[in-house]
Structure 1
Amino acid sequence: MGSVVVSVDAELGWGFLDLHPPPADRIERCRRGWHALYEAFEAYDVPATWAVVGHLMLEDCDGRHVDHPAPAGWFERERTDWADRPDLRFGPDLVRSVLESSVDHEFASHSFSHVLFGAPSTDRELARAEFERALELADEWGLECSSFVYPRNDVGHRAALAEAGFTAYRGRTSTPEGFRAVLETGLGGRSVLVEPTIDEHGLVNVPASLFCFGFEGVARTVAESVWTDPMVVTARRAIDQAVAADDDRLCHLWLHPNNLTTDRDDERMRAILAYIDRQRRETDLTVETMGEVAARIGESAGDVDESENVDGLETSITQTVSGDD
């Protein structure tokens, strides 16, 4: 069964909290990008896993979070540069738009405040606080949340993630990105499909395949002037690979809403989603969320375990009847 997943790192200003200065174009247009991406999913009826930074679900706060074990100064920008920028700190209106969409999106977590879980400063206490606070907010909204997307794909503290109650996460990609993805899939025919697996903590790892905005700047401008958008071509190849797959491998595309800063960014995503929709209608391609993949992989693993148990029981019975030790 061919399968494609699209996951979204929904974060507004929180994705740049530790960057000084943050990229001006992306941070000032992050709400614009959210609306554009939301409308593109609506237009092509493509469900996605929206991994939301928990802080966006707050209506207001004092910017101190005294009960949170974050490193000193982590929330300082809330009280200084962003003190008069609620549009970067809060987004309950945006979250509600996703939840009320006619498209069956999955609500997932992107942590509470976008800490980096592989960083030395993120100890177990901080990791647990980020997981638990995000889940508390989801519960207050009456939402279930089982999938997690690590900020910047910096995977860490998976044991604590499982203990918090999550069942799936987006793992690091093992496939080429950016220029290499365009080159190796186009000239070398390299596959960017990934295989979901169950890790040692019982979590389903749904690895990333392709970042939709990995070919930018001058290189993109030049390529588009003489050819077309290289990332659209590469994404289409990846989707075609998923259509042809005869195993559990899938195409997992991902991006941030703040990647959509211009009309041509919107056009890129609409072209990719239009192709997903077309292949879904003309082939056996399935569009899944991370949660649906996790449920499918978990169920498949359960069926294997049950089969092994039955086989073992039959073998034991046979040995007992025949007198074998």
Structure 2
Amino acid sequence: MDTELAWGAGTERKRRHLFEDEHAGREAIEFILETLNRYDVPATWGIVGHLLLDECTPDSHHETERTRLVDPHSNARESPNYYMPEIVEMIDGSETGHEIAGHSFSHARFGELDRNTAAAEIDEMCEVFDSHGVELSSFIHPYISIDHCDILAEHGFTAYSLGVEESAETIKSGLFPFLTGNTRFWGAPPVTPDNDRHGLTVIPRSRQLSDERWGFLNPRRIRNTIDRGGDGVVHLTAHPHNLLYDPHLKRTFPRIVEEISRRRDAGEISVATFRELASQFR
């Protein structure tokens, strides 16, 4: 779950549209958490560090292009879709076993950052999570703009993810010849995690749950994915704010999670967080 709320909305117009209701972000997170916890299905929550602040001013932290565009320099009461420090307790308070991962400090594109700014993003992100008692081991690059992975390794991270497009290219290259090639028909392609030159486990994404380019997922496609996936890893991803504009996802998400839970309880699949998966491939 890539969790950035207003920090991830691309334009001011989109931020106003999606988060006109100041409680929209929290309600989307609560809906997803309640669904996952009901079926005891853990997820990896990649959270933007700035969300954990109670308040900030222009002098509170380093500046990136993202903070210049997005940061309201406000507080949790006035701008709850930019500041939500209670999210850690919401997730950690569950017995489901969710993992909290880093998603940068300000949702900056790492491929466009110089080394010093990338280091500041990671430093401040780790500091704010540490202040909430969270030790990070997994990272999700904003926009899947992959760079500066050596800095992640220096901070003790063990895993990060690649984007859906990279996963699609892997399929086209023939590494999974047993696939029909018609991913739109049967669901989400399996992927194979691997270790990069820094010793980090790289976990490619199979599908976004809300992505019309690939055909929307539903329980039938999840069943097809499991039946045809072999021993591969199926890495599904979404953003809580997807629920604010995609009624299909809000309608089908509980059914998808229920199907995953049912197949896991039958011993047909296992469900793992990034941290758990990385431990199997290191």
What band does the TM-score fall into relative to the shorter chain? 0.7 to 0.9
The answer as to whether partners of 1:124 and 1:157 remain within 8 angstroms in 2 is yes
- The equivalent of 1:202 in structure 2 is 199
1:139 correspondence with 2:123: no
- The equivalent of 1:61 in structure 2 is 56
- The equivalent of 2:238 in structure 1 is 255
Q: Give the helix-richer structure, 1 or 2.
A: 1
Q: 1:209 Cα shift?
A: 0.7
Q: What code does the residue aligned with 1:38 have?
A: L
1:268 correspondence with 2:252: yes
The answer as to whether partners of 2:7 and 2:70 remain within 8 angstroms in 1 is no
Question: C-alpha offsets along residues 216-244 of structure 1, whole Å, 9 cap, x if unaligned?
Answer: 8xx98xxxxxxxx65443333223334x3
1:85–1:234 CA distance, 2 compared to 1 (3 A): farther
* TM value normalised by structure 1: 0.74
Q: Structure 2 CA distance, aligned partners of 1:20 and 1:205?
A: 32
- The equivalent of 1:235 in structure 2 is 222
What's the secondary structure of 2:38's corresponding residue?
A: helix
What's the secondary structure of 1:205's corresponding residue?
A: strand
1:26 correspondence with 2:15: no
The answer as to whether partners of 1:213 and 1:231 remain within 8 angstroms in 2 is no
The answer as to whether partners of 2:6 and 2:15 remain within 8 angstroms in 1 is no
Alignment match of 1:279 (pick from 229, 253, 263)? 263
- The equivalent of 1:92 in structure 2 is 85
- The equivalent of 1:163 in structure 2 is 154
Q: 1:176 Cα shift?
A: 4.3
Kindly report the root-mean-square deviation, in angstroms, between the aligned alpha carbons of the 2 structures: 2.9
The answer as to whether partners of 2:210 and 2:217 remain within 8 angstroms in 1 is no
**Which one is further off, 33-42 or 75-84?**
75-84
1:92–1:74 CA distance, 2 compared to 1 (3 A): closer
* TM value normalised by structure 2: 0.84
Q: Structure 1 CA distance, aligned partners of 2:56 and 2:188?
A: 46
- The equivalent of 1:185 in structure 2 is 183
Q: Structure 1 CA distance, aligned partners of 2:193 and 2:267?
A: 22
1:145–1:80 CA distance, 2 compared to 1 (3 A): closer
Q: Structure 2 CA distance, aligned partners of 1:287 and 1:101?
A: 16
Q: Report the count of equivalent residues.
A: 268
1:86–1:24 CA distance, 2 compared to 1 (3 A): closer
- The equivalent of 1:148 in structure 2 is 139
Q: Structure 2 CA distance, aligned partners of 1:142 and 1:190?
A: 37
Q: What code does the residue aligned with 1:53 have?
A: V
Q: What code does the residue aligned with 2:32 have?
A: L
Taking the TM superposition and a 5 Å limit, the aligned residue runs for 1:305-316 are none
What's the secondary structure of 2:139's corresponding residue?
A: strand
